[in-house]
A and B are shown apart, each in its own frame.
Chain A
Amino acid sequence: MIQLILFEFKKIFKSKFHILFVILVICYSFYAMTNSVSFYMELYPSELAHLPFQHQKFVTLENEELTSKDVLRYIDAYQHEQAGEGNQAYFEKLMNEKEQLMEKFEMYEIDEEAMKKAYGENYLDIMEAGEQKKMSEEEVLAYIREIEERNCEDHICYMDDPSVELTNEGDLTQFTLKPLYKNKEKVLALNALYANLITYSDKFYERDQYLIEPSFIEKNELNKDIFLGNIPEKTKDQLKEEHLAYFNHKYIENPYTIDSNVANDLLIYTFGFQGPVINQLLFIIVILVLTSNIFSIEKTNQMEQYLACSKSGFKQLTIAKIIAALILAIGFYAIYFIGTVLYISSIVPIRNLDLVSMIGVNYLYTYREVLLMFMALIFTALIAAATLSFFLSCLTKSRFVTILILLTAFFLPYFMKGIEAFIFMPSMMIYGNDYLSFQQSMVGTDLLNVVKIHELVLPLSVFVTGIWLIVCVILYACCYVKQRRHHVR
């Protein structure tokens, strides 16, 4: 049997086109992966500090200027030192530490130089005029334009850029100037270091407050401050008490440990988000190309007749072909997965995966669960693609027809939005985050991320994976039976 499988692989990789295609896709995938990791490294500190995305200078608390990888390592090491159990004492300790650092670095003190540079030498007079409504509307408008021209690049102003703030809404003449504090660059560092830790510990020690009462559905109160965050209207209508019980149970049972999430976030981003998703799509296409030839090659080489009259050959050969298709699907992704994990580990150590994550729905799953669900979805997408291609090439005996049907079907969801059944399409299953969150997905509709089967509530990703595995087994069985019947005939 091993020899038969080896022959199948030989047949596939005898073609120069296949070898070239596989090498190109693997090389491009690693290039795209490293590219998206670099993009993420620039974005991450700003995201942690809730700043609009821009390439900002990152200065540590020790006044050292860092770039990309070093920023991540610095945040990771600092947060790992602060690791602990998310309770009230821990939360207060963090808040006190942050407060002390703010005072130490004089972050509450107005930076006179920066104020003069941003608002003009006479900024104190202008502030007074704004308080006492001494300026006309035209003067204020002209002043706003002047500040924008002086401080905003290409007239694009960000939230933390100097600006005029109206103190009485609707009245242009009553205003103040946004204060600019000393050590502004350290605010970014401090927020990046503490943002996650404080958010998690705050939520953890008051965990019960954010539980969802079953009565919320009847009273239409699902917009309250619950741990799930914002739920779209359509999803609210679909939520049942069993779903809420499942959410509450998962939320309460989750671990309380707090540690650095840096590597975990990076890992999740690389596997389930839209940036590097092109890699997964390319793998699906490679699998389609390679497996579509497994059956049709016998027809092309006019070997079918010989195999059809062989007594045990065809049976064993079909099993070998099935195994070869599965090995291809799993093998390619294993190469990519191992490569990605090694690359990320070389940037920042992967620590505890059993931490609660805000990926998908807030605080519902741990990083381990999220990662497993993403991986399961991608693996299933590849296996589904291999199976469909295998099945169709077995029926049509033409790789051209097979590839044409499958490529059209796989690309269709990108252009036909709003059809919920497309969540089963392998090309959509690579958008792992869509299956975990409530927000609008790639299929163009809001998805309920859990499925209720009788009394059992399952995550949507597990449901889709399960259905596909059953379908794959059925399709492989059909191929096997069809080929056997063919032999008997």
Chain B
Amino acid sequence: MLKLLKYEFKKIFKSKFNLFIVFFAFSVCTYVIMDQLNGMYMSDVYEYINFEGKQMNSKEMIIYIDTFWHEHAGVLNDDFLDEIQNLKQSIIHEHEMDVLDEEAMIRYYGEDYKELDMALRNQEVSSEEINKLDQQLVAFYHPTSGGSYADIDTPQILYFEDGAHALKPIYKNMKMYRLLNYLFQNENEFEMLVHRESYLIDKKENLKMGFLENRFTDQIELTPKMIEKGNEKFLNNPYTFDSTVGADLIVYFLSGSNVTLIYVTLLILCLILTSNLFAIEHTSDTEQFLISSVKNKQVILAKITTSILIAIGIYIIYLIELYSIVNARVPIRNLNIVCTESFVQFMSTYKEVIGIALWMLISSSLATAALSSFLSCFTKSRFITSLILIVGMLMLELFWPYTILNMLNPFKMTYVYFYQGFNFVEVNGHVIRQSTLICSVWLVINILLYLSIYFWKKRTRLKNG
């Protein structure tokens, strides 16, 4: 059997085209990962300054944030909240980030900026004048290829609900706020996790969304059992805290919405490698020999096993590649920490998020391999198989994205972020994740597809025999 497996792999990798495609696909993955890593926390328009006043590139920024939070690792509790509040205030104070930059205020708003600010607050300035001033301030925005861009250190007119206006205060070392904002962007999430009992979902009277507030997309109708399960998951989250920069990067590349190119490439790779497993016998005119061979059964089993191994192997290699690249940039620390990414909705730790992502990706790959083997077995042509599957999967996603059929589309399954978080379904009174349901359905379909291949091929032999 092992020998047969070896032969199948040999047949696949004998083709220079297949070898090239494997090399090309993993090169695309490396390029996308490196490109996105280098662009992370970066902007073409403005610069990032650390608290020592030094400009940082993407690599330095990632390491800076990681080291900063690793130094403050500990347990999520009230002391931790106080500590980070004090820390933030001390940074602001130390670097005079709350001291008005008189020079900048005069440069942007003019010598009499105090009077102007007072007049704006007292609603003594006409709307035409405000518009004119607003237009003048555009000159200080960051110029971009698509116009200009207002940011933290650019002057602006502030608008209040009561109709009053004010000049945006420009503080000293304002550019450091970019880093400060990145460092403390999860303050609210920390507060929610520390006081988790007050953020539970409550549907008894008026619906209180609790920890799901601003994170829920109304796509699922909440049932009491789902709420119970969600609350339980939220309450059972670990209290540990450490730097999550490395883990965030892994989650980003496994679940992110901006890495579709990687998954399209890997899916097509899986399709190319598996679509020839059965078709090759027809092309090389060896089909007749196999049909009459007593070992036909073993050959079919070897082909099915190869198809499964390829499907799993592709993502294992991708994971190793991803882990090596990310780990070379920043250490991946504790994964038993609750993931604060908005799409996870506090429903999983990093370990679980990565587990769900891999589960979905491998399922999608296995589904592609099974479909591809099944179709190529019937059509005897890798061309027709690839055509049907590529066109079918991509067009289903493009033109019928909200149909049930598309929920089972292997390509759609690579949009992993969609299946993370509070995405439960109720089946026979049991609340399970949507990802579990879809993967289980595919597992059954895969078994059926492989069984049909096995019996169909076996029957062919018997008939001819």
Contact = CB atoms under 8 A, between A and B. Distances in A.
A233 interface: yes
B175 interface: no
B216 to A, nearest CB: 17
B383 A403 contact: yes
Interface in B135-191: 135, 145-147, 161
Given A281-B395, A416-B261, A237 B383 contact: no
Contacts of A446: 146
A233 B264 CA distance: 33
B394 interface: yes
A401 B382 CA distance: 10
B17 interface: yes
B261 A404 contact: no
5 contacts: A17-B384, A403-B383, A404-B386, A408-B390, A411-B264
B261 A289 contact: no
Contacts of A408: 264, 268, 390
A450 B399 CA distance: 29
A234 interface: yes
B398 interface: yes
Contacts of B268: 404, 408
B320 interface: no
Tell me if A's interface is mostly helix, strand, loop or mixed.
helix
B398 A407 contact: no
A372 interface: no
A415 B414 CA distance: 13
Interface in A210-242: 220, 233-234, 236-237
B260 interface: yes
Given A404-B268, A416-B261, A234 B147 contact: yes
Contacts of A398: 17
A285 interface: yes
Contacts of B390: 404, 407-408, 411
B387 A415 contact: no
Q: Interface centre among A236, A400, A407, by most B CB within 10 Å?
A: A400
A403 B387 contact: yes
B273 to A, nearest CB: 12
Contacts of B261: 412, 415-416
Contacts of A399: 383
A416 B241 CA distance: 36
Nearest to A404: B386
B382 A400 contact: yes
B391 interface: yes
A78 interface: no
Nearest to B385: A400
A477 interface: no
B283 to A, nearest CB: 10
Nearest to B264: A415
Nearest to A293: B383
Nearest to A300: B283
Closest 7 CB pairs of A and B: A233-B147, A234-B146, A415-B260, A400-B383, A411-B394, A407-B390, A278-B399
Contacts of A415: 260-261, 264
A309 to B, nearest CB: 26
Interface string B376-388: 0000011110110
Contacts of B264: 408, 411-412, 415
Contacts of B260: 415-416
Contacts of A416: 260-261
Given A404-B268, A408-B268, A415-B261, A234 B145 contact: yes
Interface string A377-406: 000000000000000000000111101100
Nearest to B279: A400
A407 B391 contact: yes
A236 B261 CA distance: 31
Contacts of B375: none
A414 interface: yes
Interface in B42-64: none
B272 interface: yes
A234 B144 CA distance: 9
B147 A403 contact: no
Interface in A229-283: 233-234, 236-237, 278, 281
Nearest to A411: B394
A413 B135 CA distance: 36
A414 B264 CA distance: 11
Contacts of A234: 145-147
A414 B147 CA distance: 25
A278 B383 contact: no
A401 B399 contact: no
